[in-house]
Structure 1
Amino acid sequence: MPDPIPTFSHAQIREWFAKLPKQDFVDQKILLIVPDATRTAPLPLLFDALFHEIRPHCMSLDVMVALGTHPPMSDAQIAKLLGIDETERGRLFYQMRTFNHEWDRPDRLVTLGTLTKAETAELSNGLLSLEVPVQINSRIQDYDLLLVLGPVFPHEVVGFSGGNKYFFPGIGGPEILNFFHWLGALITNYEIIGVKDTPVRRVVDAAAALIPKTRRAITFVVSSDCSLHGLFYGTPESAWNEASDLSGQVHIKRCPRPFKQVLSCAPPMYDELWVAGKCMYKMEPVVADGGELIIYAPHMNEISITHGKLIEQVGYHVRDYFTKQWDRFKDIPWGVLAHSTHVRGGGTFENGIENPRVRVTLASGISPETCARINLGYRDPATIDVESFANREEEGVLLVRKSGEYLFRLEP
């Protein structure tokens, strides 16, 4: 058994923040970029420690939620995310503004430059050769320092999340988002998740290099119970590099054999399939050929608030379903197509017949009719006794009580 990975106490966390290089923040207008509520993170504690250490030194400090294309958060939700109560809002944080990213407002985006066809061909190892405009939230123009505060986990599109991913797609425009999500889909979740050096990460870093502002990041590695295992400060590249190494130790679980059935329980923070799909992404490597992955989410009633209509139009399919009928699908936003392939997983499409490697079943508030229409299985969540799936690994049955953040892989 490997030694347990140490955790930080609250006192140790505050001591770590006290050692941040204050000279980086003196007289700076700072935009703090944070995740939304779909990530496990002790943000109230981390934000409080950061605020009290750097606010006395900087000129201003505002916060932007790196939504990507997730739904916007209300002022009350953002305050809760940061651990700010109403009395504190007026007393301590009255000068601090909070923003949602607005990816779908062209007037809120600024173009930083373009990745050329030659650049994208090189970055993608020849998979895609396109000219891609790089846009980002225009509010960055009002600040001197862009400071990311966010966790690192294995990720289905980029390999490991965090770092410059908080700029793209976190506060980026749709063209670069759609480009690298489809690039990740072409490589496949199975091949890319939990891998550090990926073509998608190289695209994200190249796009971030176009930002004409100082970039810094505080990255961290956290367990599903919010225990903190590591904090790292530096450039987004260096802080991410250290955190992803630790995430690989904390967030990857090895299994000796594949499972014929997996009950993958979505936590309440995954309230639409757009994010609950992580319950498939992280488990796909350990589901046996022909096995079943059940996304158990009785609380979930939405496919996607933002993209639901398009997903219902397209459905969930394996990669080759799209690539072998490209003229039919090329005008659908590529980020939607990528999500579709990630939830459906690997498989083939030959002679008009789709053969997914894994059966994906939804046990949620999404109706059986809708599940049939989007090409996923349905099961009434009321018929599932979660405990009946427990302790049955030897039978080929696996229960994951809080799915979506730990990556399960087979032993080499």
Structure 2
Amino acid sequence: MNISLPYGKGFLTGELPDSRVAGIIRSHLDEYQPTGTEEYLVEQALLNPIESLPLQFLARDAKKIIIIASDHTRPVPSRLLIPPMLREIRIGNPTADVTILIATGCHRNTTKEELRQKFGDDIIRHEKIVIHDCDDSQNLSLLGILPSGGEFRVNRMVAEADLVVSEGFIEPHFFAGFSGGRKSILPGVCSRETIYANHCSKFIADDHARYGRLSNNPIHRDMIFAAKKAKLKFILNVVLNSKHQIIHAFAGDCEKAHLAGSAFLSSLCQAKPLISDIVITSNNGYPLDQNIYQAVKGMATAEMTCREKGVIIIAARCEDGHGGENFFQTFNNDLSPKTILENILRVPQNQTQADQWQSQIFARILSRNTIILISEADSLIVRKMRMLPAHSLEEAVTLADCVLGHSHGNITVVPEGMSCMF
């Protein structure tokens, strides 16, 4: 059986014995037939906003308008979303002062070249673009206390704007339930302390903080509060297939439009787990598989359909290496993953550390399963992070067989690990 996994900007291919493959689990995103072109879908969403006035009407009396845009770690086709949003705003208010604010959360700054790839030269030349800095205390405003008890500090430009809108995409998210919508505010343009309070160990450990779950999810609860407190009035979110093409678009009220998009996505991505000895998956390719830190998301999907003490094989190019110094150093010691997890669970909310949430989920998976990483990352780094390095699918399966102690373990393949929910 020939297997093809998204890997960087291309694919990783290999062969598996037919007799060992228990099944291949895919979302139905690629099967869905959109009702028109990508541009048409975006236009229709803007013309028919969900429980909101059209964007041009919202912009009429707004002098300062902020459009929050996703950063380089997300495959959002911003060059298809931002121009029609700007057009609608300027139809309603030609003299509005518009700034595009890049929602980096705690990520590194987006480079000029990444901005150019994301928006195109025309937007770069003619629009004001500001990159959010979660540590710039002079440009952060306190807007209240989150339901969780953490302080809600947000970019001052958002706090002082007359109208705040955002673009983004909706995908399954391993602890927020779904990406998109309210996440443009928290974590997108908040202070590091606010993000850390929301991503505390207690919340990450909550059974409701999982893929596809919004109800009773404490992380989502904080995010909704933050979005409303920051007066996020309008969103334009899209759903993408494996080729990062828009198959549906949702615009309007921050919460209602996001719920509609999440429901649509669930109808295509929800799957029944097929528990196996070995699970093979990916992190959906570039830009989602740039580092090990991001690849934890695909591992979290595989965890849901891999038996305890089984093996997860994930293909993620990881050209940026580990992706977080604190994340790396958490595992670069003599402590077992179980001990690391126990230590993290004891950390109070107001003492959450950098990358702690990712380390917590990674340690949880490592405590349960062996992970083999097919990547371009330094093999020494991979080993220091308690994984086994491999450079091909066949090599990874051979390693998995060695871990299991036999060569007849059944295999489940989830080609796009971030597009399925169990």
1:25 equivalent in alignment to 2:53: no
Matched, 1:176 2:194: yes
Unaligned runs of 5+ in 2: 1-26, 49-53, 400-407
Moved more, 173-182 or 236-245: 173-182
* Matching of residue 341 in structure 1 with residue 350 in structure 2: no
* Superposition map of 1:7-406 within 5 A: 7-10=34-37, 12-13=40-41, 15-16=43-44, 19=47, 21=54, 22-28=56-62, 29-58=64-93, 59-82=96-119, 84-85=120-121, 88-89=122-123, 94=126, 96-115=127-146, 119-120=147-148, 131-182=149-200, 183-187=202-206, 192-197=210-215, 198-211=217-230, 213=231, 215-255=233-273, 257-266=274-283, 267-269=285-287, 270-305=289-324, 307-308=326-327, 310-312=329-331, 321-323=340-342, 333-334=352-353, 336-346=355-365, 356-374=367-385, 376-382=386-392, 384=394, 396-403=410-417, 405-406=418-419
Comparing both chains, which one has the higher relative contact order based on Cα–Cα distances under 8 Å and sequence gaps of 6 or more?
Answer: 2
The code of the aligned residue for 2:137 comes to: P
Alpha-carbon distance change, 328 to 101 in structure 1, aligned in 2, over 3 angstroms: closer
Residues 221-247 of structure 1: CA deviation (Å, up to 9, x unaligned) = 222222333322222111111111111
Asked if 1 retains the 8 angstrom alpha-carbon contact of 2:233 and 2:254, the reply is yes
- The secondary structure found in structure 1 opposite 2:91 is coil
Q: 1:132 to 1:18 in 2, by over 3 A?
A: closer
For residue 9 of structure 1, what is the amino acid of its counterpart?
Answer: G
User: CA shift at 1:332, angstroms?
Assistant: 6.3
User: Contact (CA 8 Å) 1:181, 1:334: kept in 2 or not?
Assistant: no
Q: Matches of 1:325 and 1:345 in 2, distance apart?
A: 10
Counterpart CA distance in 2 for 1:168 and 1:315 is 34
Match of 2:51 in 1: none
- The residue aligned with 2:18 is none
Deviation readout 1:143-178 (Å, 9 max, x if unpaired): 211111111111112111221111000111122211
Q: Are the counterparts in 1 of residues 68 and 165 from structure 2 also a CA contact under 8 Å?
A: yes
Decide whether aligned partners of structure 1 residues 200 and 214 sit closer, same or farther in structure 2, where only a CA change above 3 A counts: closer
Q: Distance in 2 between matches of 1:315 and 1:71?
A: 29
Say which SS state the counterpart of residue 185 (structure 1) adopts.
Answer: helix
Equivalent pair of 1:310/1:336 in contact (CA under 8 Å): no
Report the alpha carbon displacement of residue 288 of structure 1 after superposing the two structures with TM.
Answer: 1.5
Change beyond 3 A, Cα 1:384–1:342:
same
Letter in 2 for 1:292: V
Q: Contact 1:315–1:373 at 8 Å: present in 2 too?
A: no
Rate the CA distance shift 1:281–1:146 in 2: closer, same or farther, 3 A: same
- Amino acid of the structure 1 residue aligned with 2:277: K
> Quick one: distance in 2 between partners of 1:27 and 1:331?
39
Q: 1:162 to 1:326 in 2, by over 3 A?
A: closer
Name the CA distance, whole Å, in 2 between partners of 1:272 and 1:315.
23
Contact 2:282 2:315 (8 Å CA) reproduced: yes
Output the CA distance in 2 between the equivalents of 1:250 and 1:40.
19
Return the alpha-carbon distance in structure 1 between the equivalents of residues 128 and 159 of structure 2: 15
Q: For the Cα contact (< 8 Å) 2:142–2:153, is it kept in 1? A: yes
Q: Aligned partners of 2:335, 2:65: CA distance in 1, in Å?
A: 41
| Aligned counterparts of 1:74 and 1:369: Cα–Cα separation in 2 | 28
Report the number of matched residues: 373
Q: What is the distance in 2 between the residues matched to 1:258 and 1:200? A: 28
Quote the RMSD (CA, aligned, Å): 3.3
Query: Is contact 2:150–2:198 with CA below 8 Å preserved after alignment?
Result: no
Percent of pairs identical after alignment? Answer: 18
State the secondary structure of the residue aligned to 2:359.
helix
Q: How big is the shift at 1:111?
A: 1.2
Shift of 1:17: 5.2
1:265 is aligned with what amino acid?
A: S
**Structure 2 CA distance for partners of 1:113 and 1:36, relative to 1, 3 Å:** same
Give me the whole-angstrom Cα distance separating, in 2, the residues matched to 1:292 and 1:168.
Answer: 34
Unpaired runs of 5+ in structure 1?
Answer: 121-130, 348-355
Query: For residues 146 and 220 of structure 1, what CA distance do their matches in structure 2 show?
Result: 18
2:250, 2:257 within 8 Å by CA — same for their partners in 1?
yes
